[in-house]
Amino acid sequence: MSENCIFCGIVAGTIPSTQVASDDRAIAFMDINPATRGHLLVIPRTHSTDLREASAEDLTAATLLAQSLVGRVIERLDADGANLLSCIGADAWQSVFHTHLHVIPRYKDDPLQLPWHPTPGDLDEINATAATLT
């Protein structure tokens, strides 16, 4: 547990949240700054800054909980789909530095847009980058 982490406070029960699901390794609660109706956050109970630091067991638990919630938001909220998002680092929009997954229900008429418009990339650059990563 990190003393100054808002999500650790939610886990400890010292900061209020609207929880919708939990197990012994992860909890899910409503995002107070929702992108769409039903936007949830899923976090491991154990503090880690982001998924690079989280244990495999915590990531598995959070991902499985997120999976069940994706089904729930599509079925119960009549969503047309969902985005699962993890932001890693301030430049990637991470604002709370405790590993978390956003479950964002998507609706045909919602105003949320992708942060980029996919267009074909340079194949030589793609291959060179892939070689660097392998």
Among 5, 104, 113, which residue's Cα sits nearest to residue 50? 5
Tens of pLDDT, residues 17-36: 999 999 999 999 999 999 99
Q: Is residue 100 annotated as part of the catalytic site, yes or no?
A: yes
Which of 39, 100, 102, 117 is an active site residue? 100
Which residue ranges in the chain fall short of pLDDT 50?
none
Among 6, 31, 15, which residue's Cα sits nearest to residue 104? 31
Among 74, 100, 70, which residue's Cα sits nearest to residue 88? 100
Q: Structural domains in the chain?
A: 6-133 (3.30.428.10)
Residue the block writes with tokens 């709370």: 96
pLDDT at residue 42 in the model: 98
